A and B are shown apart, each in its own frame.
Chain A
């Protein structure tokens, strides 16, 4: 293999299809495609299906790292011999936005730091993440959560749109290898490319409507102090408890496991399925006691976990500002609105606070 060291390359947009084709030849390719009026991450058969300019997918790429329904293992009923049957494949997830990359970072912390989960680790090891830059819509608030841009690389490649080309930053040896394999498609960076790359940052920042962004400074303390706020009750009156907000969230990880016997009674499978803190049974223990007895307590819990729990556990906010929970909520409840109401801050103050945040 050639010795190859490079920090970044340029991929002309006209080469994108070939690039994708190349990725597809390397391993299973997963990328956003259009479904109805929305987008979803899906395994790609035809690279022409790939939608590069999407705002957000219904479900985050999380589903390819932590499948929504998965088998932990199976065991035989007579001798209780345990047997792991799950298979891991190589996969490339293309077109991940910055917020989702941050979401994956959070999952990494949850699954790999304390009591690491070997299944997640194995999947994660064999996954290549290729990010892509994006422009915000009215639901995005990643600028507030500090996740608008990919940080110190938990990705392998990141494509930034600089007009006619993509500016491709290389984040890992795996990413480097891909570039090397497909190097005919790339150009070397020139000064103007670097300039455009830098410019893209401020371009994205400017696309946010600052007055709409929530102020997340000291949000942990705020939420703790506002434990008895009316805002929770008001929100919960509209909340359907349908779990959509957690199911679409790139950082939520709760699951329930059930043992499912086969019809012949010889084998039992332990199935884990994604669940939500918004479901009453989630906190139900023996004796019929609900630890989160009413909708208000469940509604509040999500905010509590995102903004107090995650910082306590993994030292990061549990929200990456992707806006999915607000965009998908059937009742139209918006996380930003709830936070703003909790903060009770007036518009002007809010703007100043976020302007400061963005100029940092």
Chain B
């Protein structure tokens, strides 16, 4: 028998990676229409203590009766004790999740995926670009950076949504804007209400904010997350302004059933979004033509 196979077959049965941990909902915050932030605590204390993740990673969340969904972790690993997820109501499973109340059980497994390369980002400028719900995984990164502010150089946050109503983490983002150790630029698609005007720095697309960023591109790491259609334009704009493609990281969404490279649904070209991503350098888009 082959050595490699012998090694594989002689392993003892591993901990089941498909088996989630029971958790209880501790808090639910309504962020915007159809968007809620859920906080969870694992029923098993030891899991709570040992929980650690990298910003940009995601979990597989079992919604009782409905099934499993991949959701990015929006809390920062620097703040322990709870796992937070922000979920938009879009379909079968998220609908059921949105009906749950604090105290209800769910089950979670993870964290999965690679996350943003925070280690190599250290010592550089960071430009964070978020569109809509894309702010969720980036919120994790933002707080990670702010809690270790000294390790990073300049930080920019660009955030665009439909309208003020759909701005997520409103209070947090307002307070960020008041800080002087980072710059925030916010945009909205619509400029209809008074609130819209008060909130946004300008009306229009996220891409229009990029020229306003005053950073040395070669010294900067960029983290992008947004709706699938936005990537192409954001990527083009960033390249135009001289950001190196190996320093631009995009977080992608795909259909996922397992989160651990077994179900195949998340394939992007030859890569799996779950184990090779969901964060990819923009360079990959050349190899993975259908990525964006």
Contact = CB atoms under 8 A, between A and B. Distances in A.
A and B touch in the complex (CB under 8 A): yes
B36 interface: no
A152 B2 contact: yes
Interface string A256-292: 1111010000001010100101000011111101011
A258 B63 CA distance: 11
A171 B1 contact: yes
Nearest to B107: A80
B9 A114 contact: no
B13 interface: yes
Given A73-B18, A122-B13, A285-B254, A112 B8 contact: yes
B270 A304 contact: yes
B182 to A, nearest CB: 30
B: contact size bracket: 35 or more
B124 interface: no
A308 B88 contact: no
Given A73-B19, A116-B14, A256 B265 contact: yes
B260 interface: yes
A244 interface: no
Contacts of B289: 227
Nearest to A66: B262
A88 B218 CA distance: 56
A200 interface: no
A: contact size bracket: 35 or more
B103 interface: no
Contact of B270 (A72, A124, A259, A308): A308
A312 interface: yes
Interface string B160-184: 0000000000000000000000000
Nearest to A283: B255
Interface string B53-78: 00000000010111110000000000
A111 interface: yes
A255 B8 contact: no
Interface string A163-206: 00000000110000000000000000000000000000000000
Contacts of A275: 265
Contact of A301 (B8, B15, B91, B267): B267
B102 interface: no
A312 B272 CA distance: 10
Nearest to B291: A291
Contact of B88 (A116, A125, A258, A286): A286
Contacts of A301: 267
A54 interface: no
A137 interface: no
Given A110-B262, A171-B1, 10 more contacts: A116-B8, A118-B13, A254-B263, A256-B257, A257-B263, A270-B67, A286-B91, A286-B94, A286-B253, A313-B261
Kindly list the 3 A-B residue pairs having the minimum CB-CB distance in the complex, ordered from nearest. A254-B264, A286-B90, A309-B270
